[in-house]
Amino acid sequence: MASFSACGEGKRGFWRPAGAGVAVAVKVQPRSRRPGFHGRRPAVAGEQLCLGVAAPAEEGRANAAACAALAELLGVAARDVAVIGGQASRDKILLVKGDLAALRNRLEAL
């Protein structure tokens, strides 16, 4: 997974500006007993957000659930979140489309 720099500060953060929004590094736990946001965690390539989803990792269901969970966490529509890396892995990069300043504020509050 690529290293992320938060706000260009040289940190190895969990998000970076990308196109019309931000790319966010996440660790997805399919079939989680506790769906939702589980905080941040260190990873080899920097930090990741941890998301638990009830959906199984079959036929893209966990990917869709991870997109919906991140959308809810950031207050954007689920259609504005897509998997752009790690489709078959628990370590994923999700692209969140939207206003960079608003997304930055929401991400930094996590």
* Bridge-based pairing state of the strands 46-52 and 91-97: unpaired
Two tokens, residue 86: 């790690």
pLDDT single digits (tens) 63-78: 999 999 999 999 999 9
Length of the chain (residues): 110
Residue labelled with tokens 């390539």: 45
Residues whose CB falls within 8 Å of the CB of residue 107, separated by 6 or more in sequence, listed in order: 14, 15, 22, 24, 74
Amino acid sitting at position 9: E
- Structural domains present in the chain: 4-108 (3.30.1200.10)
Give dist(CA 92, CA 99) in Å, integer. 21
Model pTM score:
0.86
- pLDDT by residue (tens digit) across 5-38? 444 444 568 999 998 899 999 999 999 999 999 9
